[in-house]
């Protein structure tokens, strides 16, 4: 049997001009009947180049009409060079027409019928040159909302295949908003163009951009470190302007959320204190609190020069923060302006302390005790803290109800202070050596 090549599939069932290829399992029309027509010397000819016709038909009905017209011509044609089989069309000859009456039943515009002494079959050739995909449009990696991207990617493929079966969508441009990208796609055939985001754009805040800034700040990192980490991952970094804008917005959000949480904690502490009948002789509700402070770097008991410090008051009944304060001695913008002997520009200044670093904790605690009756309708009549006597003295001196306050020593700090005192005795050369030898680090 003659080896037949595979090719275009005809849309019409039982089309006479189908040609079956057992190797590839689909039908094929003769690819180049024009070359055979040029060899013949007949007055009239009809092109049955199915590929050419099918590219200009849009519906199955049009395909059906074309195939039926060609079949009619073939049945009435008595001058074909070879006998035709019922399943195959002869590829060595062309369907030729010598009877004018036969041509009247055929759409001459669709079948490209030409009359004359010579066979002239002209086809409009459409040459398409597909430009190579520009791989430089998207380079590196991206942080995306995977579920959102997969949803629109699958939907986009299905929608586009309904209007363009052979075209391919390519990325032609990208516009970045921090770590979020807007990707523009364009079809190489039908000129269809659309844009998609790597995160849902209907959200008021980008979880990706806000998340990366939030994580950077909460871990004590900086923009420079974030940029270096993203560069190692080959991810385009967020701009400093956007990072700073989100940083300011997050700062305001954190601050408002903090005070809302403190107010809720105060209400809960007050409710539990009332249930436990913690009411003084003046019918004021009171509670016991835990106090502690910290600085930006360790003092090691003698080096109190930290630029910032903080202290908290925690309710004993709820274990939640009832007050928080921060003291800063330094502002970079103000310091730079002072060095240049000029007026600092308008800015958000966090400098709120000019005294010694050691006095920061006591000042914050006094402020918190004073605000207790105002913020939470609570008095802090008992507190548990370390062995620092300066805080207790400041409370007695500056808090309106300071005389009523009682200090409870923290056992952890008491043991720590006791051990520190023993080490101090062991290193004191004024004490007799025989007595100092009694203090040893060995456990009995």
3-class SS of residue 408: strand
**Are 193 and 170 spatial neighbours (Cβ–Cβ below 8 Å)?**
no
Tell me, what's the pLDDT at 356? Answer: 86
pLDDT tens digits, one per residue of 327-372: 998 888 888 888 888 888 888 888 888 888 888 889 999 999 999 9
Tell me, what's the pLDDT at 438? Answer: 79
**Element (H or E) spanning 196, and its range?**
strand 193-197
pLDDT tens digits, one per residue of 121-158: 454 555 555 555 555 678 889 999 999 999 999 899 88
3-class SS of residue 7: coil
Neighbours of 322 (CB within 10 A): 27
Q: What is the arithmetic mean of pLDDT over 92-107?
A: 42
Residue 96 has pLDDT above 70, yes or no: no
- Residues with Cβ within 8 Å of 198's Cβ and at least 6 positions away in sequence, in order, are 142, 143, 144, 145, 148, 149, 180, 181, 183, 208
Q: How far apart are CA 254 and CA 326, in angstroms?
A: 14
Tell me, what's the pLDDT at 276? Answer: 93
Would strands 379-385 and 321-328 be described as parallel, antiparallel, or unpaired? unpaired
Axis-axis angle for helices 207-218, 223-232 (nearest 10): 120
For the chain, the C-alpha Rg in angstroms (whole number) is 44
**Are 33 and 60 spatial neighbours (Cβ–Cβ below 8 Å)?**
no
- Per-residue pLDDT band for 15 (boundaries 50, 70, 90) equals low
Q: What is the arithmetic mean of pLDDT over 317-324?
A: 94
Q: How far apart are CA 217 and CA 206, in angstroms?
A: 17
pTM beyond 0.75, yes or no: no
pLDDT tens digits, one per residue of 377-399: 999 999 998 766 788 899 999 99
Residue 35 has pLDDT above 80, yes or no: no
Q: How far is CA 148 from CA 145, 152, 169, 183, in A?
A: 5, 7, 19, 14
Neighbours of 121 (CB within 10 A): 18
Dihedral sign computed on CA atoms, order 406, 412, 413, 419: positive
- Per-residue pLDDT band for 182 (boundaries 50, 70, 90) equals very high
Distance from chain centroid for Cα 192: 26
Backbone φ, ψ for residue 403 (5° rounding)? -70, -20
Distance from chain centroid for Cα 177: 10
Q: How far is CA 20 from CA 2, 26, 71, 92, in A?
A: 12, 6, 17, 16
- Residues with Cβ within 8 Å of 320's Cβ and at least 6 positions away in sequence, in order, are 261, 265, 268, 269, 314
**Are 217 and 248 spatial neighbours (Cβ–Cβ below 8 Å)?**
no
| Burial category of 242 from C-beta neighbours within 10 Å (exposed 0-12, middle 13-18, buried 19 and up) | middle
Tell me, what's the pLDDT at 194? Answer: 92
DSSP H helical segments within 233-278, as ranges?
Answer: 240-275
Residue 45 has pLDDT above 50, yes or no: no
- Per-residue pLDDT band for 82 (boundaries 50, 70, 90) equals very low
3-class SS of residue 9: coil
- The mean pLDDT of the chain is 75
């Amino acid at each position: 049997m003659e080896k037949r090549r595979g090719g275009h599939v005809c849309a019409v069932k039982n089309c006479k001009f189908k040609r079956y290829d057992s190797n590839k399992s689909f039908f094929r029309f003769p690819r180049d009947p024009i070359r055979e027509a040029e060899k013949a010397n007949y007055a009239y000819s009809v092109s049955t180049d199915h590929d050419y016709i099918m590219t200009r038909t849009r519906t199955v009905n049009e395909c059906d009409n074309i195939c039926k017209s060609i079949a009619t011509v073939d049945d009435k044609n008595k001058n074909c060079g070879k006998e035709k089989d019922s399943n195959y069309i002869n590829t060595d000859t062309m369907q030729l027409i010598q009877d004018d009456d036969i041509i009247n039943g055929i759409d001459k515009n669709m079948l490209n019928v030409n009359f004359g002494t010579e066979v002239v079959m002209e086809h409009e050739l459409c040459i398409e040159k597909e430009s190579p995909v520009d791989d430089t449009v998207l380079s590196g990696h991206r942080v995306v909302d995977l579920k959102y991207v997969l949803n629109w990617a699958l939907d986009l493929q299905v929608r586009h295949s309904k209007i363009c079966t052979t075209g391919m969508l390519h990325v032609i441009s990208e516009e970045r908003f921090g770590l979020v990208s807007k990707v523009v796609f364009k079809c190489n055939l039908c000129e269809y163009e659309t844009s998609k985001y790597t995160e849902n754009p209907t959200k008021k805040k980008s979880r990706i951009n806000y998340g990366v800034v939030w994580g950077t700040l909460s871990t004590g990192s900086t923009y420079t470190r974030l940029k270096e980490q993203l560069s190692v991952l080959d991810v385009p970094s967020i701009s400093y302007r956007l990072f700073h804008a989100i940083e300011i917005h997050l700062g305001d959000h954190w601050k408002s959320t903090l005070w809302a949480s403190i107010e809720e904690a105060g209400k809960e502490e007050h409710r539990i204190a009332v249930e436990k009948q913690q009411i003084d002789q003046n019918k004021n509700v009171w509670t016991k609190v835990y106090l502690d402070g910290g600085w930006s770097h360790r003092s090691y008991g003698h080096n109190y020069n930290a630029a910032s410090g903080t202290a908290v008051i925690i309710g004993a009944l709820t274990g939640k923060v009832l007050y928080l304060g921060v003291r800063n001695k330094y502002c970079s913008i103000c310091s730079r302006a002072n060095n240049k002997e000029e007026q600092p520009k308008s800015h958000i200044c966090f400098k709120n302390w000019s005294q010694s670093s050691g006095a920061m904790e006591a000042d914050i605690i006094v402020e918190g005790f004073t605000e207790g009756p105002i913020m939470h309708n609570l008095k802090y009549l008992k507190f548990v803290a370390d062995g620092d006597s300066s805080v207790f003295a400041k409370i007695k001196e500056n808090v309106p109800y300071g005389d009523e306050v009682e200090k409870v020593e923290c056992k952890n700090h008491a043991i720590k202070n006791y051990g520190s005192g023993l080490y101090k005795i062991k290193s004191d050369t004024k004490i007799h050596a025989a007595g100092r030898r009694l203090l040893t680090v060995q456990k009995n």
